[in-house]
Structure 1
Amino acid sequence: MKTFSKRALLRASVAPAILGASLIATAAIAQDAPQAADAEMGDTIIVTGSLIKNPNLARSTPVTATTADQIELKQNNTAEEILREIPGIVPSIGSAVNNGNGGASFVNLRGLGSNRNIVLIDGNRLVPAELNGRFDLNNIPLALIDRVDVLTGGASTTYGADAISGVVNFVTKSDFAGLEANIANQLTEEADGHYVRADVTLGANFDDGRGNVVFSVGYQQSDPVYQGDRPFSNVSIDSFTGLGGGSGTSTPSRFTNVNTTGADSITTGCGLDGQPACNAVQGNRQVTAAGGAFRGTSAFDAYNFNPFNIFQTPFERFNMYGAGRYEVSDAVEVYSRGIFSKNTVSTIIAPSGAFGISVVVPLSNPYLSAAQRNAFCAFDTTPGVGYTARFSAAECAAAATATSPTDPNYRTVTTTLSRRATELGPRISDFTTTFFDYRIGARGGITDSIDWDLSGGYGESENVQTQQGYWLNSRVRQALLATNTATCLTDTNGCVPLNVFGPDGSITAAQNAYLTANSQVTTKTSLAQVKGTISGDFGVASPFGTDSLAFALGGEYRKYGASQESDLLSQSGDLGGAGGAAPNIDGGYDVYEAYGEVILPLVQDKPFFQDLTLEAGIRYSDYSVDGGSGYNTTTWKVAGNWTPVDGIKFRGNYSRAVRAPNIAELFAPVNTTLTNLDSDPCAGAAPTQNANLAAVCIAQGATAAQLGSIINDPAGQVNSTGGGNLALGPEKSNSWGLGVSLQPAALPGFSLTVDYYNIKITGAITSPTPDDVISACFDNITAASASDPACTGIRRDPGTGALFGEAAVVGGLPQTLSNLGKLATDGIDVQLNYQKDVGFAKWALSANGNWTNSSTFQATPTSLNRECVGLYSVNCASIQPEFSWSVRNTLSFDSVDLSLLWRYIDGVKYEDGDAFVGTLNGKQVDFNRIPAEHYFDLTSRFHVSDEITLTMTVQNLLDNQPKVVGNSIGSTSYNSGNVYPSTYDALGRRYTVAAKLRF
């Protein structure tokens, strides 16, 4: 029977052995920091990237580690902030993004997508936060994190499907004993964005060290930072004109199907109130109401939504973490871990309204002025053929007094209405997430060198989105069907007639109260899992080696379930400006897996072969999808490392990985939402000059009368239609890497690793980019056919001819999912560490750098194979610079540490190169380029006593402001407030004071 004496010896050297074996060589910034001591007392051995828990075996796959000490120096508040700043990791949805943020934060390894990696705690999966299978980083308990390991490349053999671009493993502090309390307070230079974080951790060893328990509670709260409070973002700027941009849904109201040219001797409002004369193109079809009259439109009519949007999302979280272990006998140890988190994220965006919805208006509407009524009546029903008014002057006058639909003179007009509900206030969505994930298991020894480990876990996440401040489209329509100011023509629910014909402020509180109602969407996910592993060695070594062959064998079962339950309002798409309906979704799948790994030290302690080790692994997975067909996959890996002499090591790896389609990709019904597009080929005068283009635009749903007056959405958004597909299969990837590690004996304290990575994904589950859809139809417009499915699949607003409008009416761009995509990336990671006693202090240098050579994406075989390194656009959504690095220098004195962090982001440019160049606010600007950026953070840490440490950090020391490129040049999820706030600091200089108490 195996005893735990050998396991106890392993515990005492876990952290240094694993770090050395993995060639991470991360410097201990503060030489006497307590984290270093804690890290050396792990209760189990965690090797990121392998199931074999032998600390003496070197890894062949590079891992980047961020230590608890580095997190303390940086004063990161969330796990997403930590990962966002690691070179080579591309920012994903997080706290800096407001519009499009669903209340969660994710990680995107190598720019391959936030759904193509796995987030682990101590090597174990956790329940996803939503239907795309992604884990919400807001649920990570930072107070107990000892280090964060990032492994790039296919890791499906070790961790199963989804680890196609790598894994992020949060390793917790183990065998924690005592009490530790942390509190941190952060404020920006502008005295906003207040952020407070507090944690208390208790731990104890008992029964002569046979057991340990730890419990931690934490609280976080952050205030919003509004884009209106920063000079570079308080006004929305059009990326292609440099003029004030924004949304076409503005105030006063915008209408279609009106005539302001004065035909038929009808008086109009053109040129009134100092406004320019009516535009000859738009004036006949789309105008803006002001002060009871109509006026011609201009670029400055776009609504400035920026002041309402935010750069720091309001966030509040309560979290608990508990773990325990106990050696019930010399051969069996039981353990358990539980995480609970409840957090609320509030997203705030500009007011709701009627976003291009078709409405019917009686000509006897009490709020309609005579000039406005006449303009509706005089609409030319056959433009280009000969003027024909909708109603004659006599009919129009008679209809003005016909208050009953039974009156023969009663007349209505149909128009598309765009009106911003400025009187109502912003749209607010509160996302409240309740998350728990429990695990229990037992481990022990079969022989003196072979261990077993059996565990099971279950987790659930429930996210409740409560939306408030939204107009209901159906009630807007009902409230416009009125012929007096007291009642509506169809009044079964207390309808209040609506005045959208007046200036800003014309809508009363009673009108708004009728138009609004709260709605709710609940997303639930669950994950049940069981896994068992036998690992160790047989005591048999190679004839030329000294270490024994190590192995791991095991099996795993996982069952995923997820649902989206929407109330009737959310399902109907009735919310004005909600981006489309939120349909009910329900689905799940389970998977049975068997796997094995071996590590074979072939040659050791020989000339030019200090060590030569091979690794291999294989995993078989059998999937069963609810309501669909099942499938199976096989993944594998081979790797090796060679140490010819002490101080230099070469390593290489090759792996085959897969990603199974997630629940949203399988079960989401077809739905119309929003995407981004900067230019519609049917907009402007082009269709009137090209007969073939005109025919295509008409085939897509525009009318001949609309050609020449179709506009691009000033906000750069268009409708998009897509959904899930039960026929989807798993993606496949091949990844390989080569690296070298140097630790020369002649330079103590120095280490350098250089690793090349190459990842290619085929059969990728993708949808075409907006430009892919447009290009498929319009690239060769002289030869394009109006019956080509690539053209007819695009659907336009029948009332305006535009690609944006009411989701129930305008399909927009077809962006369906398929297994036809390809992704690929390659580059080089560099890690350098150096420590030296310089006499008056101890100096520690830690540097991480990345060169991304290529990052390509091809949605379908006929789509452009798009290169996105160093580029930004609606197609290359999140910025991925060619070069980036992070360098930290720390001087440690007796009781004080001074540390300076330098982060570099290489310059990038706009993909198409046709954005605005000119003078803006008296300065020459070029929206086609964002120059290289340098950020500096300065930290002073004072070890007041053995029990008290004070840390003061200044982030963005030089108060660098982000480069303005306008609001319509990229994806709304990343391009916001005229900048890219997830990549470039939009908050400015900020100060953090933190205290740590230890007993």
Structure 2
Amino acid sequence: MKTSRIAQFKAGSAPLVLGLALIASPAFAQDAAEDESNQDIVVTGSLITNPNLEQAQPVTVVGAEEIDLQQSNVAEELLRELPGVTPSVGSAVNNGNGGASFVNLRGLGSNRNVVLIDGYRLAPAELNGRFDLNNIPLALIERVDLLTGGASTTYGADAVAGVVNFVTRRNFSGLEVNLSNQLTEEGDGHTIRADVTIGANFDDGRGNAVFSIGYQQSDPVYQGARDYGRFGLSSASGGGGGSGTAVPSRFTLGTGGTRQMLEDGSAFSGVSLYRNFNFNPYNVYQTPFERYNMFGAANYEISDAVEVYTRGIFSKNTVDTIIAPSGSFGVAVQVPINNPFLTTAIRNSFCNGNGISAADCAAAANPALRPGDAAYRQVTSALFRRATEVGPRISEYTTTYFDYRLGFRGGVTDTINWDVSGSYGQSENLQQIKGYTLNSRVRDSFLASNTTSCFSGTAAGCVPINWFGPEGNSSWTPAAIDFLNEVSTVRTTSTLAQARATLNGDFGVASPFGSDPISFAVGGEYREYSAAQNSDLLAAGGDLGGAGGAAPNIDGGYNVYEAIGEVIIPLVQDRPFFQDLTIEAGIRYSSYSIDAPTSPSYNTTTWKVAGSWTPVDGIKFRGNYARAVRAPNIAELFSPVNTGLTNLADDPCAVFDDAGVRIRANPTGELRAVCLAQGATASTIDSIAQPIAGQANSTGGGNLNVGPEVGKTWTVGAVFEPDFVPGLTMTVDYYNITITGAITSPTPGDAISACFGTNPTSPAAGASATDACRIIRRDPLTGGLNGDPNTTPGLFLSLSNLGRLEASGIDFQLNYTRDIGFADLSVAGVLNWQETSSFQSAPGGYVRDCVGYFSSNCGQPTPEIQWSVRTTLSFESFDVSLLWRHIDGTVYEGQAADFAARGFAASGRALFNGTLPASAGSLAGTQENFTTIGSADYFDLTARVNVNDNLTIVGSVQNLFNTAPPLVGGEAGSTSFNSGNTFPSTYDSLGRRYVLSAKIRF
């Protein structure tokens, strides 16, 4: 076959394959990818491969071999095994999962990295600008490159923590069918995956086309199906946890505090203790998921100097999140004293607690009274009651996604190439919300003229409900259930239109002391983002019970014009102690325009310098410094101020825990003054309970005045290929990423400490008059930080450019291959030592370093050391491989030596340490320390058999030793990560699993 100008261009252009730079520079991994594309069997790769040997910036690579052996069903599973990749929202997240999967590099946030396919951005999934990993076409992925540190010079805003680049197989020819089946040892969590890929070269090799279609389906794994998840455990006591929004109902009784109904519904219980609701069995460790995806790509040499290429992605994903029943989560209701379902004992309790005399109470009991009558009386009470009769809350997220790209490339001269391309993509997510009761309907159902009719002025079709009676009482008719709940929808659409033109190659001249020519790239890029969120019932008011507030309508966008320049200069080559000395530099200028009349536009500049020095064979030193910039996304700019939920384990004003057990004395002195200033009343201040299930109300939103944040990244490291150990490659790199002017909100702990100080039980004199205290607003009925979002703003967590983030540590990577006679041995591993993972919400505030800790402020565990090592023995037609993943131990943030300085009283709320009581069900009697998570080691054993040239069968046992996840209860971290008494995104909550797959090739 002839060698055209285009073929030469493809063989030497790293940007098309690696996506690591816009400079044309050789890289071993590119050759491997090109070689593989002309073979039916995947060339052996490894977890750590050769981009580290060719780049000045450290790159971790998940190669074709690792992809094949891991037997992952979705892209997030490929990345979760790597140290340095912090678990983010994905399939293990139930409460807080919006139907997408994201990646979080270095714990800096899933909105601070860019996900690419073949070096190009794709349309984001939502208003935060994040790409959904569920849209990655796994069947065509050759490898995954993770570039650490600021990459904004090459990829623009968002790439502050780095980039994840999924590289597709190139010039695929033939037919390939992949079938996979997975099942847990418990017989649940069934997952199937099927992919068919077909490709061909045509017109004497001038063109290639490939098309792949895939399907995947996963069944749910309920937390109730595992011993460690069956019962909700309290992180504070180790006993029964769960939620104070329970069954039977719980009401506030004015000066009588909060009381729960007796089981038979005849009267209130005589003590403040109440039975928490065990929501765990309703929740899931694995969200049910169904996906259809298509990927097509083609390229054709129009002439010897011009090639056209195109790529299209389409997917449709459906994710169901299932959580415990809805209900009234402290909603204020008006209870008529003549409500037909009130017993005499219940009526008298309401009257006594609200100062209604016995005579007035008896007169108001007349069933003929109506609002406006002189004797009519009603009391305001906060209702806490699960509507278990309605069933679980289910959100069905259906995402339709497409992204299409078209481009042309060719050569200007023998050494200079051009590339022009454009793309457009759109993601549409439709959330159908089922099983939620409406707070307004709950209120109306109390306004009953008799057991079958409501007062005039209530909603059409109003059905009275006996909220005082036992669960499932006769008032819960199908008509009542139908009246209480409605199907609600939230539609989120995001788009990205982009165009890029680059000119890259070399000048044809070299440094006086070098042999390779100086390379360069210049170019321009344009991107236009738009996003909108449209809701019906959730648009305002937060009417859905337990939905955490409103989902307001949002519409916004911005565009950016950019100019790019990069250069690579081999300064010295083939000299003593200077086998190679190369420097790199790059700059990107960006001009942003926000689609809002009052929002300022702004310009940013990012740049980088890097270098590598090879003094002798077998060792290379490398370093990089970059100034990266992240512009605010659409959610950060345009989201209206709204009240939702955050995580807070300890309210300093609370005197009872979530089960009504007294935990401290009534507030006195300045503490009492603070609680009253925040909205507690004289009748509630001595009965405030801890936030329900560790969740408190919080108010925040976007801010059109926030500007770009700046990240400064530097890395320094070395690559070793010792001649005396053939087949061994090692890399070690130190990284430091510091983000100033970070677009952040305070943590709940920051908001509490700003008001109450380092000892919340004894705040400073005058604290009650400070803005930091008065901006916290409590429920007027209970004095707590839960309640109706329309009346209880809770904590104020405003968005600003005042934050500071830092992540630093060391990555160590090893790759070793050797023929040991009877087999080929391959060992590939990557280890991360995390030095710092810190956050400061405002200058002068506490710098919270989460390394070695877990808490609701840190969100999830941040281990100091993690590693993944794969060892493989390859025989003639059979491979056996063992993956060992290690996660270092962590402790609860409350155990930190500087706990008080972190904004908590040293004598404050500690997690449980002891023997689990009978309320813990099947775990009763076991010793657990909720303050400490020990180190965890997971092993996956895989066997692969090449039956013949057309068939490969892979069998795998994941979590070989059935290692159970650590127990920490339900309030030890943020809700999105602390679920089912553990952290299911970090630790394996499914148990041992069996995977069998087949690959058929023709």
1:132 is aligned to 128
1:906-917 to structure 2, matched below 5 A, reads 906-913=888-895, 914-917=910-913
1:751-770 to structure 2, matched below 5 A, reads 751-770=729-748
2:319 is aligned to 345
Measured against aligned partners, the alpha-carbon deviations of 1:113-133 in whole angstroms (never above 9, x if no partner) come to 000000000000000000001
User: Quick one: structure 1 residues 36 and 14, their matched pair in 2 at CA, closer, same or farther if it must change by over 3 Å?
Assistant: farther
**Is this contact kept in 1: 2:125–2:132, CA < 8 A?**
yes
**SS of the residue 1:192 aligns to:** coil
Q: Choose from 640, 649, 659 the match for 1:678.
A: 649
Structure 1 position 220, deviation (Å): 0.5
Tell me the distance in 2 between the aligned counterparts of 1:116 and 1:196.
32
Q: Do residues 614 (structure 1) and 586 (structure 2) align?
A: no
1:940 is aligned to 943
Tell me the distance in 2 between the aligned counterparts of 1:401 and 1:488.
12
**SS of the residue 2:749 aligns to:** helix
Tell me the distance in 2 between the aligned counterparts of 1:8 and 1:452.
12
Q: Do residues 157 (structure 1) and 164 (structure 2) align?
A: no
Q: Do residues 200 (structure 1) and 218 (structure 2) align?
A: no
Tell me the distance in 1 between the aligned counterparts of 2:98 and 2:674.
36
1:264-343 to structure 2, matched below 5 A, reads 284-291=257-264, 292-296=266-270, 301-343=275-317
Q: Do residues 209 (structure 1) and 205 (structure 2) align?
A: yes
2:904 is aligned to none
**Is this contact kept in 2: 1:940–1:953, CA < 8 A?**
yes
Q: Do residues 777 (structure 1) and 755 (structure 2) align?
A: yes
Q: Choose from 435, 450, 456 the match for 1:469.
A: 435
2:5 is aligned to 3
1:273 is aligned to none
**Is this contact kept in 2: 1:217–1:320, CA < 8 A?**
yes
**Is this contact kept in 2: 1:333–1:442, CA < 8 A?**
yes
Tell me the distance in 1 between the aligned counterparts of 2:423 and 2:384.
51
Q: Do residues 414 (structure 1) and 380 (structure 2) align?
A: yes
1:96 is aligned to 92
Q: Choose from 521, 524, 543 the match for 1:552.
A: 521
**SS of the residue 2:324 aligns to:** strand
User: Quick one: structure 1 residues 893 and 285, their matched pair in 2 at CA, closer, same or farther if it must change by over 3 Å?
Assistant: closer
**Is this contact kept in 1: 2:246–2:386, CA < 8 A?**
yes
Q: Choose from 397, 400, 411 the match for 1:431.
A: 397
User: Quick one: structure 1 residues 306 and 297, their matched pair in 2 at CA, closer, same or farther if it must change by over 3 Å?
Assistant: farther
**Is this contact kept in 2: 1:402–1:409, CA < 8 A?**
no
1:680-759 to structure 2, matched below 5 A, reads 680-684=651-655, 688-759=666-737
**SS of the residue 1:969 aligns to:** coil
2:921 is aligned to none
User: Quick one: structure 1 residues 17 and 224, their matched pair in 2 at CA, closer, same or farther if it must change by over 3 Å?
Assistant: closer
**Is this contact kept in 2: 1:141–1:319, CA < 8 A?**
yes
Measured against aligned partners, the alpha-carbon deviations of 1:684-739 in whole angstroms (never above 9, x if no partner) come to 18674422111111111110111110000240000010011111000001110111
User: Quick one: structure 1 residues 198 and 34, their matched pair in 2 at CA, closer, same or farther if it must change by over 3 Å?
Assistant: farther
Q: Do residues 904 (structure 1) and 882 (structure 2) align?
A: no
Structure 1 position 571, deviation (Å): 2.9
**Is this contact kept in 1: 2:678–2:773, CA < 8 A?**
yes
Structure 1 position 2, deviation (Å): 8.2
1:275-674 to structure 2, matched below 5 A, reads 284-291=257-264, 292-296=266-270, 301-379=275-353, 381=354, 389-393=355-359, 395-490=361-456, 491-506=458-473, 507-627=476-596, 628-674=599-645
User: Quick one: structure 1 residues 699 and 17, their matched pair in 2 at CA, closer, same or farther if it must change by over 3 Å?
Assistant: closer
Q: Which moved more, 1:499-508 or 1:960-969?
A: 499-508
Structure 1 position 366, deviation (Å): 1.1
Measured against aligned partners, the alpha-carbon deviations of 1:651-672 in whole angstroms (never above 9, x if no partner) come to 0000000000000000000000
Tell me the distance in 2 between the aligned counterparts of 1:843 and 1:993.
24
Measured against aligned partners, the alpha-carbon deviations of 1:6-26 in whole angstroms (never above 9, x if no partner) come to 336548999899999899989
1:70 is aligned to 66
Unaligned runs of 5+ in 1: 50-56, 260-282, 382-388
**SS of the residue 2:894 aligns to:** coil
**SS of the residue 2:178 aligns to:** strand
Structure 1 position 789, deviation (Å): 0.4
Amino acid at match of 1:896: F
| Aligned residues between the structures | 956
Structure 1 position 207, deviation (Å): 0.8
User: Quick one: structure 1 residues 771 and 398, their matched pair in 2 at CA, closer, same or farther if it must change by over 3 Å?
Assistant: closer
Tell me the distance in 2 between the aligned counterparts of 1:26 and 1:620.
29
User: Quick one: structure 1 residues 611 and 500, their matched pair in 2 at CA, closer, same or farther if it must change by over 3 Å?
Assistant: same
**Is this contact kept in 1: 2:868–2:884, CA < 8 A?**
yes
1:267 is aligned to none
Q: Choose from 951, 956, 964 the match for 2:967.
A: 964
Structure 1 position 48, deviation (Å): 8.2
Structure 1 position 399, deviation (Å): 2.3
Measured against aligned partners, the alpha-carbon deviations of 1:383-431 in whole angstroms (never above 9, x if no partner) come to xxxxxx3232453355243433354322211111111001111000000
Structure 1 position 918, deviation (Å): 1.0
Q: Which moved more, 1:216-225 or 1:475-484?
A: 475-484
User: Quick one: structure 1 residues 545 and 299, their matched pair in 2 at CA, closer, same or farther if it must change by over 3 Å?
Assistant: farther
Measured against aligned partners, the alpha-carbon deviations of 1:320-379 in whole angstroms (never above 9, x if no partner) come to 000000000000000000000100000000000011000111111111111101111111
Measured against aligned partners, the alpha-carbon deviations of 1:758-785 in whole angstroms (never above 9, x if no partner) come to 1100000000000100001011613243
Identity of aligned residues (%): 60
Measured against aligned partners, the alpha-carbon deviations of 1:124-169 in whole angstroms (never above 9, x if no partner) come to 0000000001000000000000000000100000100110000000
Structure 1 position 288, deviation (Å): 3.2
Q: Do residues 955 (structure 1) and 958 (structure 2) align?
A: yes
Tell me the distance in 1 between the aligned counterparts of 2:400 and 2:18.
36
**SS of the residue 1:744 aligns to:** coil
Amino acid at match of 1:431: Y
**SS of the residue 1:80 aligns to:** helix
Tell me the distance in 1 between the aligned counterparts of 2:860 and 2:406.
39
Tell me the distance in 2 between the aligned counterparts of 1:25 and 1:440.
25
Measured against aligned partners, the alpha-carbon deviations of 1:545-584 in whole angstroms (never above 9, x if no partner) come to 1100000000000000000011144433110011110000
Tell me the distance in 2 between the aligned counterparts of 1:377 and 1:18.
72
TM-score (norm 1): 0.93
Structure 1 position 529, deviation (Å): 0.3
User: Quick one: structure 1 residues 738 and 24, their matched pair in 2 at CA, closer, same or farther if it must change by over 3 Å?
Assistant: farther
User: Quick one: structure 1 residues 36 and 421, their matched pair in 2 at CA, closer, same or farther if it must change by over 3 Å?
Assistant: same
1:275 is aligned to none
Unaligned runs of 5+ in 2: 656-661, 896-909, 917-923
**SS of the residue 1:186 aligns to:** strand
User: Quick one: structure 1 residues 9 and 863, their matched pair in 2 at CA, closer, same or farther if it must change by over 3 Å?
Assistant: closer
1:849 is aligned to 831
Amino acid at match of 1:643: T
**Is this contact kept in 2: 1:437–1:459, CA < 8 A?**
yes
TM-score (norm 2): 0.92
**Is this contact kept in 1: 2:505–2:521, CA < 8 A?**
yes
Amino acid at match of 1:413: V
Tell me the distance in 2 between the aligned counterparts of 1:401 and 1:834.
85
Tell me the distance in 2 between the aligned counterparts of 1:304 and 1:354.
16
Structure 1 position 40, deviation (Å): 11
User: Quick one: structure 1 residues 363 and 825, their matched pair in 2 at CA, closer, same or farther if it must change by over 3 Å?
Assistant: same
Structure 1 position 492, deviation (Å): 5.0
Q: Which moved more, 1:213-222 or 1:16-25?
A: 16-25
2:769 is aligned to 787
